[in-house]
A and B are shown apart, each in its own frame.
Chain A
Amino acid sequence: MNLLLEIGCEEIPDWMLAGALEHLSAALGELTKNLRPADAAIRTDATPRRLVVRAEGLIARQPDSEERVWGPAKSAPAPAVAGFAKKQGVDPAQLEILSDGKAEKYSYLRKIAGRATTEILAEALPQLILKTPFPKTMLWPGKGGARFIRPIRWVVALLDNQVIPFEIADVKSGNESSGHRKLGAYRFHVTYENFEDQLRANFVILSAEERKKRIRAVPTKYKCDTDLLDTLVNLTEWPTPITGNFDPEFLNLPAEVLATVMKVHQKFFSVVGPDGKDGQLAPKFVAVTNTDGDPDGLIVRGNENVLRSRFKDAQFFWDADQKRKLSERVADLANVTFQAKLGSYLEKTNRTVALVKELGGNANAERAALLAKSDLTTELVKEFTELQGVVGGLYAKAQGEPEEVATAIYDHYKPVSMDGDIPRGQTAQLAAIADKLDTLRGCFSVGMIPSGSKDPFALRRAAQGIVKIVVEGKLRLPIRQLLGGDAALEEFFFDRVRYYFREIRGFKYDEVNAVLAASSADLVDIDERLTALQQVRPTADFEPLAAAFKRISNILRQSGLSGEGIAVNPALLEAGPETTLYQRFTAVADELRGLPDYASKLERIASLRPAVDHFFDKVMVNVENPDVRQNRLALLYSVLTGFSTIADFSEIVTTSQENK
C-alpha cells in the first residue's frame, strides 16, 4: 500500500524545511518499520506551504501475534480457574496446563489480531506531526490548541487513496490539497498517483531540485550565491527569475554595499560586470518571483523601484556619515552597549587597544583597534549591520587613514567562517585577534561561558578565529599568557585548537593528542610538529616504535618511578641488546641536535625501533637485582622522555591496538 501525507501549512520559514522533513522521515520510518520492507525508501518534499512524505509498499495490517497468559497454579480451586478463563473470555476446557519453568500452571495462548495499518497511522500521525521540532513554535487557535511552526490549514493523508482519518486543531485529514496562492485552485482532489501532477497543474512544483533548475535557467549571468539560492528555492512554489536594472550612477557606491543591499535586503542575485572582474558589478540584478511570469513588467518595475529607494537610502547614509570622521565618533561608543556587565564599546575599544600593544602591534594596528568599532555609530551600519567592519574600512580609506589601518578595520571580523579568509597582513591580524581575545576574556570573566548549543556571543567562533589567524598567519604569540591565566578559558580555547587541527586541517585525533601532550602553546610550532608527524607516520618503523613507547610508558607507570634525578649508570648495563639500546639512545640524541626540522628528527627517532624491539625481546626489566632493575627503568625513562619532546608517542593509537 502507498502512503501519502501532506501537511498544508501557512508559510514555513525557508530555513526550517530541511529539519522538519528530516524529523518526519525518521519518525515515520520508526512508526512503520514493521509495516514495510526495510529497504523501501521514504520520500520527503517541501515547499513553503507543505511538508510531504510518501512511502510505498506498506502492508495492510500488522501480522497477527500470540501471547501466552499464565493463570493460577495447577492445584488452584475450580472457581479460581473459572475466573481466569472468564477473564480471558474462554471456556475453562480451553485452558492448558503447562510449566512456566517453575511450576505447573493453567495458561492460555491468546491470539492477538494485527491492527490495520490505517488505524495505527490514524492514531499516531497527529502526535508525530506536532512533534516536529521547530526552533520557535506558535500556539493556535488558542489555549488548549495545537503547537506548530505556523497554523496547519489542510492535511492530505491517504493509504492506497483511502483517507486515514484524524484531526489536528479542527483540521480534518482528507484527500484535498491546495494550489499556489494566486495561480492555483484553493482546494482540489488528489490521489497518491496524481499528486505531483495535480500540484503542477495548480502551479506548485513539489521537487526542490526542479525549482532550483527553474531559478538557474535565466539568461543573465549572475553570481550564484548558494545560500541565497537555497533560500529562494524554499520561498517559492513556482519560481520564475526576472532580470532588472538600476541606474549605473549607484555603481559609485562600494560594491560591498550594493551587494549586501541586493542579497540581504532584497534577496536579489547581483550580476557580474561586463569585464567579468571580481568585485565589479553590472547595474543589473536577478530577482526570483513566486509566480509564472511578468507579462506587463509590473514586478520588475516594482522591484527596481524598491532597489532604487534602498540604494538612495544607502547613498543618503553614506553622505551623512562623512560629516563626522571615524576618529570623532570613538567617544560616542560610550553610548553603545557591548554587553551589560562588560560595559560600552568605548570600554571594549580601550581594552582592545591595550591588547594590541601587548601583542606587539605597530602604531597602525593600535590605530585600527581604536577606530574599529566606531562605524557602529554610523547610519550605514545601523541600517546594514552585516556591513560592520567593512563600512569602517571603507570610511577610514575615504577619510585618509593609512591603507594598513583601513584594511585592518575592514578585516577585523574575519574569518567569518572556518573556510573564510583570515585578515590580510600582520597589522590586520593582530587587530582582529585582539578584538576576539577581548570578547573571550571579558565573557569568561563574567561567567558567560558557552554551554551546549548556547553561545550567544559566538565565543566558539571567536576562539576558532584566533586559532586560524595565528596558525595560518604564522604568528608566534604567547597564547597562554594572552588568555590571561583563566583555566576555564584555556580549556575552552584548547578544545578549539584540537577542533581546528582535527576538523579543519584533517589531522588524526591521536596525532593531535600526541603533539599537544608534548608541546607548549605555540600554535605555529604545533602545526609544524603535526605536519611532520603526519609525514613520518606511514613509514615502516614509526607505528611499531609508538607501540613500544606505549609499552615503556606502561612499565614506568607500574614501577612507580618518578622523574626527578634519574640517570643511567653505564656500568650496570648488560652487554648485548641493553648496551646497544643505550648506545643508540645517546647517538640518536646527539644527532637530533644537528637536524633542522621536525620531520627528519622524527625519522631519526623512528630509527631506534630495531634496538628497542631487540631490547624487549631479549631483556627482562623486572629482574631480582634492584640496582639492575632500577637502571633498566632509568634507561627506558631516558628513551621515553628524551624522544617525546616533539610528540608524546604513547598517545598514538597504533594499528595493532585498534585491532584489539
Chain B
Amino acid sequence: MPTPNALTLQQMILRLKQYWGERGCIIQEPFDMEVGAGTMCPETFLRVLGPKPYRTAYVQPSRRPADGRYGDNPNRLYKHMQLQVILKPTPADVIEQYMGSLEAIGIDLRKHDIKLEEDNWESPTLGAWGVGWQVMLDGLEITQFTYFQQCGGIDLDLIPAEITYGIERLTAFLQGVDSLYDIEWTPGVTYRDVRYTDELQYSVYNFEAANVPVLWKLFDIHESEAKRLIDDYDKTARYPLLAAYDHVLKCSNLFNTLDARGAISVTERVGVIGRVRRLAVGVAEAWVDQQAVVAAAAEVAA
C-alpha cells in the first residue's frame, strides 16, 4: 500500500544532496561515463588516494549488465542509481551524521528498526577493499557503509568512509511500493515511465545483440590506450592520467557486458579481471605520484 505524502524520488535525491552539501561535501554531478558502481568514478577511486582530505556526494547511475531482466523483475535493474558520499578522513560522528541523513528524508528512526550488519567490500578489478556494514532498515538493506583500506592496491593515507545509498530501494521503502517500477519519480510520473525502455533495450543488447568480437576489439583498443598512457607517464602535473582512467573504465564496462553475454570462459575470466586490475593499479600508482608532484610544486610556489 503506497504511503501518502512520501517523498518522490527526485525530492529524496535533492534532500540528501542538500544534507551532505551542508556538511562540507562538494556536490558533484554524475560521472559522464558508464560505470558499475559509484566507487569506480574518479571522484571516489582517485580522490581517496593520497593525503589530501576530501568530501563529496553525487548520484551515480550504475550499470550491471548481468542484472538486467528486460524490465520484468520488480526488484532487479540493469541500471540503478547510487547516491555516493565520501568523507575523507572519516569524522568521529560519521554514523550519527549518516543517521541524520535518514531523518532528513523523513524517516523517524525512533519508530523504525535500524541495524548495522557486517558486510565487507572488495573489488578485485580495482584492487580495492574495505570493511563495513550493510545498513538494514526494518529488514531492508538501504545503504552500504565502507571504510576503505586499500585502493588500486595502495594502502590509504587517510581512511575515508564511503556511504552508498541505493536510491530506488530507499524510495520504494519510503513510498511503500512493491515494484521499483511503481516508484513515483515526480508527481504523475513513475519510474516505469522514465526507465522501462532503458531496462528493456539494454537487456536485449547485453544478452542478445551485443557483437562479441566487436566488444573484444573495443576492449583491446581501450586497454592498449590506457596502457600506453600509463607507461608514458612523465611525472608532470599536466599529464593526462584522468584520460587514461577513462579507458580503464571502458574496459571494465566492456568486461561486464561480455560477461553478461556469456562470452568469457572460465579460463579467461580470471585473466581478464587481472588485465583490468593491472590498468587500475597502474593509474592509481601514477596518480599518487602526480599528486605528490602537484603538492611539491604548490609548496615551492608558496
A contact set with B: CB distance below 8 Å: 10-11, 13-14, 48, 136, 138-143, 145, 150-151, 153, 170, 181-183, 186, 235-236, 266, 268, 287, 289-291, 294-296, 298-299, 301-303, 305-309, 312-313, 316, 334-337, 340, 343-344
Chain B, 142-178, contact with A by CB distance < 8 Å: what is the 0/1 string? 0000010100000111110000000000000100101
Give the residue among B99, B140, B173, B178 with the most A Cβ atoms within 10 A: B140
CB-defined contacts of B137 to chain A, threshold 8 Å: 302
CB-defined contacts of B111 to chain A, threshold 8 Å: 294-296, 298-299
Q: Are A313 and B131 in contact (CB under 8 A)?
A: no
Q: What are 30 sample pairs from A and B whose C-beta atoms fall under 8 A apart?
A: A10-B95, A10-B116, A11-B115, A11-B116, A11-B117, A48-B116, A138-B131, A138-B147, A140-B90, A145-B159, A235-B117, A266-B139, A268-B139, A289-B113, A291-B112, A291-B113, A295-B111, A298-B112, A301-B138, A302-B137, A302-B138, A305-B140, A305-B176, A307-B139, A308-B178, A312-B74, A334-B265, A334-B266, A335-B266, A340-B267
Distance A181 CA – B173 CA, assembled complex (angstroms): 22
Supposing A136-B120, A150-B131, A302-B137 touch, asked if A142 and B114 sit within 8 A by C-beta, the answer is no
Distance A305 CA – B114 CA, assembled complex (angstroms): 16
CB-defined contacts of A186 to chain B, threshold 8 Å: 96
Chain B, 115-134, contact with A by CB distance < 8 Å: what is the 0/1 string? 11110100000000011010
Distance A647 CA – B199 CA, assembled complex (angstroms): 70
Distance A47 CA – B111 CA, assembled complex (angstroms): 21
CB-defined contacts of A48 to chain B, threshold 8 Å: 116
Distance A337 CA – B259 CA, assembled complex (angstroms): 14
Taking the nearest CB of chain A, how far is it from the CB of B139, in angstroms? 4
Q: Assess whether B30 is interfacial by the CB under 8 Å rule.
A: no
CB-defined contacts of A308 to chain B, threshold 8 Å: 178
**A14-B117, A236-B115, A302-B140 known, 18 other contacts, Cβ within 8 Å:** A11-B118, A140-B90, A140-B147, A151-B90, A182-B99, A268-B139, A289-B113, A301-B138, A302-B113, A302-B139, A303-B139, A308-B178, A309-B74, A312-B178, A313-B75, A334-B265, A335-B265, A340-B270
Q: Are B262 and A235 in contact (CB under 8 A)?
A: no
Q: Are A142 and B158 in contact (CB under 8 A)?
A: yes
Q: Are B159 and A287 in contact (CB under 8 A)?
A: no
CB-defined contacts of A340 to chain B, threshold 8 Å: 267, 270
CB-defined contacts of A287 to chain B, threshold 8 Å: 113, 139
Q: Assess whether B92 is interfacial by the CB under 8 Å rule.
A: yes
Q: Are A11 and B133 in contact (CB under 8 A)?
A: yes
Q: Are A182 and B90 in contact (CB under 8 A)?
A: no
Distance A140 CA – B131 CA, assembled complex (angstroms): 11
Distance A294 CA – B130 CA, assembled complex (angstroms): 34
Taking the nearest CB of chain A, how far is it from the CB of B161, in angstroms? 9
CB-defined contacts of A305 to chain B, threshold 8 Å: 140, 173, 176, 178
CB-defined contacts of A266 to chain B, threshold 8 Å: 139
Taking the nearest CB of chain B, how far is it from the CB of A168, in angstroms? 12
Distance A534 CA – B73 CA, assembled complex (angstroms): 61
In chain A, what residue has the closest Cβ to B158?
A: A142
* Nearest 7 Cβ contacts at the A-B interface: A302-B138, A13-B118, A289-B113, A11-B116, A303-B139, A142-B158, A306-B139
In chain A, what residue has the closest Cβ to B108?
A: A298
Give the residue among B72, B109, B116, B270 with the most A Cβ atoms within 10 A: B116
Q: Assess whether B195 is interfacial by the CB under 8 Å rule.
A: no
CB-defined contacts of A268 to chain B, threshold 8 Å: 139
B contact set with A: CB distance below 8 Å: 72-75, 89-90, 92, 95-96, 99, 109-118, 120, 130-131, 133, 137-140, 147, 149, 155-159, 173, 176, 178, 262, 265-267, 269-270
Distance A305 CA – B182 CA, assembled complex (angstroms): 14
Q: Are A182 and B173 in contact (CB under 8 A)?
A: no
Taking the nearest CB of chain A, how far is it from the CB of B6, in angstroms? 12
Q: Are B112 and A138 in contact (CB under 8 A)?
A: no
CB-defined contacts of A11 to chain B, threshold 8 Å: 115-118, 133
CB-defined contacts of A296 to chain B, threshold 8 Å: 111
Q: Are A313 and B265 in contact (CB under 8 A)?
A: no
Taking the nearest CB of chain B, how far is it from the CB of A518, in angstroms? 46
CB-defined contacts of A301 to chain B, threshold 8 Å: 138, 176
CB-defined contacts of B156 to chain A, threshold 8 Å: 142-143
Q: Are B178 and A309 in contact (CB under 8 A)?
A: yes
Q: Are B155 and A337 in contact (CB under 8 A)?
A: no
CB-defined contacts of A141 to chain B, threshold 8 Å: 89-90, 158-159
Distance A236 CA – B136 CA, assembled complex (angstroms): 13
Taking the nearest CB of chain B, how far is it from the CB of A31, in angstroms? 28
Q: Are B157 and A143 in contact (CB under 8 A)?
A: yes
Q: Are B74 and A182 in contact (CB under 8 A)?
A: no
Q: Are A337 and B269 in contact (CB under 8 A)?
A: yes
CB-defined contacts of B110 to chain A, threshold 8 Å: 182-183, 291
Taking the nearest CB of chain B, how far is it from the CB of A406, in angstroms? 28
